[in-house]
Structure 1
Amino acid sequence: MNNQQALLSKLQKKRLNVKTRKRGFHKGSRQSNRFGSSQEFSDFRLYQPGDDVRQIDWNVYGRTQKHYIKRFLDEQELSIAIYLDATSSMKKVNKKWELARTIAAALSYIVLNSEDRLFFSAISSSGVQPIKRKGSVYSRRTFVEIMQLNQPEKAGEFIKNLSKTAERKQQLSIIITDGLEPLNEMETVLKKLAAFKQEVWFIQVLATEEAHPSYSGDVKLVDSETDSIVNVSISPSIITEYEKRLTEHNRQLETICRRFGGQYVFAKESRDVQSVLFHDLSGKGLIN
């Protein structure tokens, strides 16, 4: 069994634990605590005026001479959006892109395998159309498609494009990015999603080299988004200051996520995807 097959096997019975459970228009496989028209029996209760007489169990009436109706667990479908940062900055380090893409593919698989509705978008990846699907029949196919996403040479800014394309009618939005764009822009997007009454999971994926640079001396830094070039002399003190600022940036990002009721998960590209899914997300109660 290869790595992908082993991962899919572990994902088979997993579900995303979404706090916002707004009733969808179609049935899903996710049980709510309400009662409705699904086929999974719950219990009986005495018939009351206005109840559907077709739900009366005549076998129970024959034994008790009382009218009882069957209650069934209601089912509800969730609409879940997954936004993957597919900009140049994500793809400069292959292992970072690989981890982010695999997390997106795995979560998409869980969504579809749970019979929920998926909206997946590789933001700023030119030529890649959003995926809109529902049903476990598409789960494996969608996983493979996301894992095969190519790497275009140029791409725009993730957060600005996400703000333009964010779907309104979702119960959960999952954002997978390196989180290195301006905090005020990310706050604007999170505020917008919160205004849509959506739950948000923000998964920040960073390369080890981004978190702890190993550069020294005179180097030429190229912005992967704009191609702008900056010549700098890097010393240990500059590295220390950079790491301090990045730590503070990430701390503020987590604070912003929590302010709008979101969940924040940090993952370095050196991590194994199963560790992120089954330790970090499961540990926060996001996957069960």
Structure 2
Amino acid sequence: MPEPGSQPNTVTESFFDPVLAERLSAIPLTARQSMLGTVSGRHQSPHRGSSVEFAEYRRYQPGDDLRRLDWRAYGRSDRYYVKEFEADTNLRLVLVVDGSGSMGFGDKLHAARQIASTLAYIAIGQGDAAGMIGASDSDSQLLPPRRIAGQVSLLFDRLKRIEAAGVTTLEQTLHRLAEMIRQRALIVVISDLLFEPSALRSAVEHLAFCKHDVALFHLMDPAELQPNWDRPIRLEDMEGDESILVDPDEIAAGYDEAVREFLQEVERISRETSVDYHRVMLDRPIEESLMRFLAGRARESAG
């Protein structure tokens, strides 16, 4: 599992269940397509024997292999750069966590942290790289996927600091990732998807064009599917300042139909763009969704 000293403090990380993570780690986290990268994990690559082929330079990060420092580049720029090579085997995991205001409804943000922390722990534990980026106007900095010492702690610290506030930037974040992550990656999006489905389609098509493997955990509170229509209720925009008092008799049927159409459209987009879609109902154990995700990929990988 993760390197010594990297395991998070489970006393303070209330969103992380180490027992669950260890149990699920028996199922390998796999990509649905061969990946190119710079670290060695459990995954076959189509470039067997080509691990010495130079791929690109990047800035040195604490924990990088010092043998890969390029001293000529240092002499030219007075900065440390590391040579990256195409490895024989690799999975590169990038977690995209929605931190917009609507994620503060119910247990959405807590569930997002649970899913992200468990998958990061499993990926790094099996020798792969993991990173993350927030998708809100208050957190949009990429923590690059690494398997360096302490990466799990860095990821967990970022997850702790995510707050459910502001407007979602999920569409823009996914487009940025498509341009920023040069080598193929498993992009896991964790969100309630409260924005236009057409924007989702555009973003995942961009990722697919760049050969990334995209998975989507769609978080839903039961109250969103079946609101309590017994009395007038006030609907609030959690990503703005507006609210409205509504009469259930006037909107119940229209609301239910709108939700059905929205879910059907999200599922259709996922099918047509080959997104690995998982709806996560927050009244069910998170383990069920994670098990379904991991087992489905392991089964597909086994052929």
CA distance in 2 between counterparts of 1:123 and 1:267 reads 18
Q: Which runs of 5+ in 1 are unaligned?
A: 39-73
Say if 2:186 and 2:212, in contact at 8 Å, map to a contact too.
Answer: yes
What is the aligned-residue identity percentage? 19
Q: 2:236 aligns with which of 222, 230, 235?
A: 222
Say if 2:31 and 2:297, in contact at 8 Å, map to a contact too.
Answer: no
TM-superposed CA distance for 1:132, in Å, is 2.1
Number of equivalenced pairs? 248
Say if 1:115 and 1:136, in contact at 8 Å, map to a contact too.
Answer: no
CA-to-aligned-CA distance 1:133-187 (integer Å, 9 cap, x gap):
42274364246325523425x3222333324532442322111111221111111
TM-superposed CA distance for 1:89, in Å, is 0.2
Say if 1:216 and 1:233, in contact at 8 Å, map to a contact too.
Answer: no
SS at 2:216's partner residue? strand
The equivalent residue for 1:121 is 133
1:243 is the counterpart of 2:243: no
- Name the CA shift for 1:124/1:136 in 2 (closer, same or farther; >3 Å): same
Q: Which runs of 5+ in 2 are unaligned?
A: 1-9, 52-86
- Name the CA shift for 1:8/1:259 in 2 (closer, same or farther; >3 Å): same
Say if 2:27 and 2:298, in contact at 8 Å, map to a contact too.
Answer: no
The equivalent residue for 1:18 is 31
- Name the CA shift for 1:19/1:96 in 2 (closer, same or farther; >3 Å): same
Q: State which structure, 1 or 2, has the greater radius of gyration over its C-alpha atoms.
A: 1
1:107 is the counterpart of 2:119: yes
Q: In the alignment, residue 91 of structure 2 is paired with which amino acid? A: L
1:184 is the counterpart of 2:189: no
Say if 1:102 and 1:147, in contact at 8 Å, map to a contact too.
Answer: no
CA distance in 2 between counterparts of 1:172 and 1:206 reads 23
CA distance in 2 between counterparts of 1:13 and 1:139 reads 21
**Runs of 4+ residues deviating >6 angstroms:** none
TM-superposed CA distance for 1:189, in Å, is 0.7
Say if 2:36 and 2:45, in contact at 8 Å, map to a contact too.
Answer: no
Give the structure-2-normalised TM-score: 0.72
CA distance in 1 between counterparts of 2:139 and 2:258 reads 35
The equivalent residue for 1:209 is 223
CA distance in 1 between counterparts of 2:158 and 2:29 reads 19
CA distance in 1 between counterparts of 2:26 and 2:187 reads 21
CA distance in 1 between counterparts of 2:237 and 2:96 reads 22
TM-superposed CA distance for 1:240, in Å, is 3.7
- Name the CA shift for 1:110/1:139 in 2 (closer, same or farther; >3 Å): farther
Q: 1:233 aligns with which of 213, 238, 247?
A: 247
CA distance in 1 between counterparts of 2:298 and 2:138 reads 31
CA distance in 2 between counterparts of 1:228 and 1:9 reads 44
- Name the CA shift for 1:6/1:177 in 2 (closer, same or farther; >3 Å): same
SS at 1:75's partner residue? coil
1:260 is the counterpart of 2:273: yes
Which structure has greater strand proportion? 1
Say if 2:188 and 2:214, in contact at 8 Å, map to a contact too.
Answer: yes
Give the structure-1-normalised TM-score: 0.75
TM-superposed CA distance for 1:229, in Å, is 2.2
